[in-house]
Amino acid sequence: MSPAGTTRAKKAPAPQKTARTAAKKTTTMKKTKSARGPTTRVPAAGPDTAHRMELLEDMLRIRRFEERCVELYSAAKIRGFVHLYIGEEAVAVGVNEALTPEDAVVSTYREHGHALARGITAEAVMAEMYGRTTGCSGGRGGSMHLFDASRRFYGGNAIVAGGLPLAAGLALADHMRGQTHVTCCFFGDGAFAEGEFHETANLAALWKLPLLLICENNLYAMGTALERHEAQTDLAMRATSYGMVAWAVDGMDVEAVERAARQAVEGIRAGTGPHFLELRTYRFRAHSMYDPDRYREKGEIEQWKSRDPISLLTDRMRENRELSDEDVARIEQRITAEVDHAVEAAEQAPEEPVGHLLHHVTSSSARAVG
Amino acid sequence: MGGGRTHEEKTTYREAMREALREALRSDDRVFLMGEDVGRYGGCFGVSLGLLEEFGPERVRDTPLSESAFVGAGIGAALAGMRPIVEIMTVNFSLLALDQILNNAATLLHMSGGQLPVPLVIRMTTGAGRQLAAQHSHSLEGWYAHIPGIRVLAPATLEDARHMLAPALADPDPVLIFEHGSLYNVSGELRPPSEAMDLDHAAIRRAGTDISLITYGGSLPKALAAADELAAEGIRAEVIDLRALRPLDDAAITASVARTHRAVVIDEAWRTGSLAAEVSARIAEGSFYELDAPVERVCSAEVPIPYARRLEQAALPQTADIVAAAHRAVD
């Protein structure tokens, strides 16, 4: 996806804006080498510009797709639980840059961003949210259960931490067959309170599994703030206690995320076992469409919005004279067309006949007709 | 298939199961066994003794005491093309992995619109009778039989212990195998597999015309003993071994009741909401006009299984209880 990306870790990003908000919410905000990087500037244009342009487009696609989801939800076209990723786009996009198509991904119920970054089309995701047969899960999963076996995208797990053991097993299978694939598992800070996280962290480290653990620390487990659900809020430090390499990263800076993910994946492929990244991020919207968001201060939300991952990148690119208004307009236009097309296709897509209700319960029923 | 044994040689249920595991590990390099103490210890009931030495620690894999993680890892490995056999020490411990079994193993195929079958086998012991008290003795296989998307097996004979595993591994969907703890030492001559050695059909373990004793797993020997006693009184009982608890072999149940017109369902689980309740309901639905007497149920008393031997035995279905239930139906 990014030909220039392999050298990126050595190149210089713009100096990182303050991550003070994150530091306030957690006990320690270690600015690691990977999160901050050296401060030398690179000249504009070249392959790096093209790559940053891709990162921008990938993040914007997620943002605009989800904004459309909000409209469609209000219009009752989409139902069920819908968990928006807006604000966290840098994590999915940055991490995906470090993965190959042969790697596996296990995700959460807030996974539109992960799915789109992985290359599942807006059309397939939108159709799934419409519950149509053309959806990436045939309409059986909905927003929380997006799957694509051909892309090794294993969902869409709506049990907090429930995807972690599964990811360990995918990694185990690759490990046992001598393959160098990596399994990447996304989960939130809330997963730290679940036994399945700790069981899996121990198992993966014990067996040196090729597992990339991506903790999206958005500071809230639904409505419960990190310091109200964890006695020790330094999550990366806790992960190291399992004997794995772990560090915290500015999850609002897509380039920092990519650098960290590449570094972690490199370590995993070299056979040094699971790596853990704590991505300090924030969701700008409520937990789900049902959430009145009474538990967060407006000021806190605004503070984080000032570090919007998309603005962070566009500001940097403009500063480097890598991005013009025309560039942005062109990308926006392309994405609008893509999302428009996804909605139109979903509107037209067929619903599954009720006679198919019992399909896919077992493999034999999956093949059953009528 | 007989593992080279002569027909005169006796084998135990434990050895039959071990031979099945050995055959599976030999015949398919995607197969591996993992669970608590399956390797160096030899399995907490000795089932996998010697397999570590033969197949090595990659394929006979000791796990930490993390039921959810290693069952989930089995699911993930199955998704990635392996054929894992996961052993859980007892059904009571399986509750720690219930999230993975229900929310992932049984559900992924459907949630993914048919993209992700989970070819996983999970084995565990079940049942009481060894004074292991209330956290090692329950019969919760009926709960699992409630769940669409998984197959639930209860091998009760040497032949099923030996020959159910291969078709279970060939099933593209999750299969749970429940081994009653009281059966491991059962010894006898292992017969070659009959044509009925599939996973879909109940078996008639003793033919009869007067009453159907419908059971599975650890209660089968008790039902057969009851049939012997009834025979001595001139009552010819038919003993049906369900073998598969999900899907249930409705046709076999219906056919038996059509022959005998009376039924006793024997199930070591608690009566309320039990598999026995399900079987009884199906008889009521499908064979109501065949019945000459109400369906009888013999289940465990509604109590956590106690340690004290006298109390434990009183809590469990016994041969005498089955005989008494049969008398109520026949008299």
Please tell me the predicted confidence (pLDDT) of residue A217: 98
How many CB pairs below 8 A link A and B? 146
Give Cα B313 to chain centroid, integer Å: 21
Which of B80, B100, B172 minimises the CB distance to A165?
A: B100
**For helices A254-269 and A47-74, angle between their N-to-C axes, nearest 10 degrees:** 110
Task: Measure in Å the smallest separation between the Cα of A349 and chain B Cα atoms.
Answer: 16
- All structural domains of chain B: 10-189 (3.40.50.970), 203-330 (3.40.50.920)
- How would you classify residue B215: left for phi > 0, otherwise alpha for psi between -120 and 50, otherwise beta? beta
Rounded to whole angstroms, how far apart are CA atoms A274 and B99? 23
Give contacts of B80 with chain A, Cβ < 8 Å. Answer: 104, 169-170, 173-174
Residue A292 has pLDDT above 80, yes or no: yes
* Type of residue at B144: Y
Residues of B in contact with A360 (CB under 8 A): 109-110, 112-114
pLDDT recorded at residue A289: 82
pLDDT digits 0-9 by tens, A53-88 = 999 999 999 999 999 999 999 999 999 999 999 999
For residue A288, the model assigns a pLDDT of: 87
Instruction: Give all strands of the β-sheet with B263-270 in edge-to-edge order.
Output: B203-206, B237-241, B211-215, B263-270, B296-300
Residue scoring higher pLDDT (A291 or B89):
B89
Q: Cα–Cα distance between B231 and B322 in angstroms, integer? A: 13
Q: Tell me the residue ranges of DSSP E strands in A245-362.
A: 245-250, 275-280
Place of tokens 């999302």: A339
- In sign, the C-alpha dihedral spanning A220, A221, A226, A232 is negative
Mean pLDDT of A99-113: 97
Chain A residues inside the 8 Å CB shell of B76: 106, 154, 165-173, 183
> Does B67 qualify as catalytic in the annotation?
yes
**Do A189 and A280 touch, CB atoms closer than 8 A?**
no
- Give the pLDDT confidence of A295-323 residue by residue, as tens digits: 999 999 999 999 999 999 999 999 999 99
CATH 3.40.1030.10 correct for A80-351: no
Is the N-terminal amide bond of B155 cis, ω within 30° of 0? no
- Chain B residue numbers touching A187 (CB-CB < 8 A): none
From the list B66, B65, B91, B73, the residue with the least C-alpha distance to B33 is: B73
Interface test with B, best of A133, A199, A209 (most B CBs within 10 A): A199
pLDDT tens figures, A34-56: 333 344 444 456 779 999 999 99
Q: Which of B15, B19, B23, B67 is catalytic?
A: B67
Place A130 in a pLDDT band, splitting at 50, 70 and 90. Answer: very high
Q: Say how many C-beta atoms besides its own lie within 10 A of residue A179's C-beta.
A: 12
Mean of the per-residue pLDDT values of chain A: 89
Q: Which of these is catalytic: B36, B136, B159, B296?
A: B136
- Residue B46 burial class via C-beta count within 10 angstroms: exposed 0-12, middle 13-18, buried 19 and up: middle
Show me where the domains of chain A are located. 80-351
What one-letter code names the amino acid at B247? Answer: P
With beta carbons less than 8 A apart as the criterion, state whether B24 and B165 touch.
Answer: yes
Residue A22, pLDDT above cutoff 80: no
SS3 assignment, position A225? strand
Q: Can you list the residues of chain B whose pLDDT is less than 50? A: 1-5
| Three-class DSSP category at A164 | helix
pLDDT tens for A251-273 read 999 999 999 999 999 999 999 99
B3: left (phi over 0), alpha (psi -120 to 50) or beta: left
Whether B180 is catalytic is no
Q: How far is A143 from chain B (nearest CA, A)?
A: 11
